[in-house]
Amino acid sequence: MDSTQTRITADTALYGEVLDWIHAEAELLDELREREWLETMVSRDVSYAVPLRQTVERARGRGFSEDTFHLLETYGSLSSRVARNETQYAWAEDPPSRIRHFVTNVRVRATEDPDVVQVKSNLLLHRTRQDQSVPQLLSGERVDLLRREDGRLMLLSRDVLLDLTVIRTHNLAIFF
């Protein structure tokens, strides 16, 4: 949605439903219940992207690449990642990271499609691995589209706009 267009704030009931959805998603991901997250909260039509951020002058915009990504996923590739984590060959995440999603500043906007809602939120992801004493912190903004499918909200698209230009983490085998 173009920021110059009129924004229509979702009603209170929808806002509450979206907030419940966000909390349930964070719980599933924090508890490493990735298969349940994928099958109950993610649309088969999903687009899931983490574009590369560059430092640019203010006049050039926010500095996110439109054609270079840390992650550019579909349902199939997300499913492959989840399946790999369920095997004994997921060395990058075995033992798994300890992750905590802190999702704040949730803004819900109606779209032209009555079954789709735009959700912007701020994310702080706190991650520790093995015996690390210094956590890895990843922060940014998530821009989601949630679509009602069979009566429940499903993640249709997610763009994760990280605040970092250089990600100092061993891997990105995590879900934002």
64 located within any domain: yes
By percentage, how much of the chain surpasses pLDDT 70? 93
- Quick one: tokens of 82? 């989840």
Which residues, including other chains, have CB under 8 Å from residue 157's CB and lie 6 or more apart?
Answer: 46, 47, 48, 49, 144, 145
Cα–Cα distance for residue pair 122/141, rounded to 1 Å: 4
Q: What is the pLDDT of residue 1?
A: 44
Q: Is residue 102 part of a domain?
A: yes
- Residue 103, in any domain of the structure: yes
175 domain-assigned = no
Whether the per-residue pLDDT at 48 is higher than 70: the answer is yes
Residue 40 lies in a domain: yes
Task: Evaluate whether residue 106 is within a structural domain.
Answer: yes
pLDDT digits (tens, 9 = 90+) for 79-136: 999 999 888 777 777 788 899 999 999 999 999 999 999 999 999 999 988 777 788 9
Domain residue limits at 64? 12-162
pLDDT at residue 5 in the model = 45
Residues 6+ apart with CB under 8 A from 82: 34, 35, 38
**pLDDT tens digits for range 155-168:** 999 999 999 888 88
CATH number at residue 136: 3.10.450.50
Tally of domains within the chain: 1
Q: Is the pLDDT of residue 26 over 80?
A: yes
Question: How many CA atoms are closer than 13 Å to the CA of 139, on its beta-carbon side?
Answer: 7
In a domain, 4, yes or no: no
The pLDDT score that the predictor gives to residue 38 is 98
**pLDDT at 171 (0 to 100):** 80
Beta bridge partners of 84: none
The predicted pLDDT at position 8 comes to 56
Structural domain contains residue 45: yes
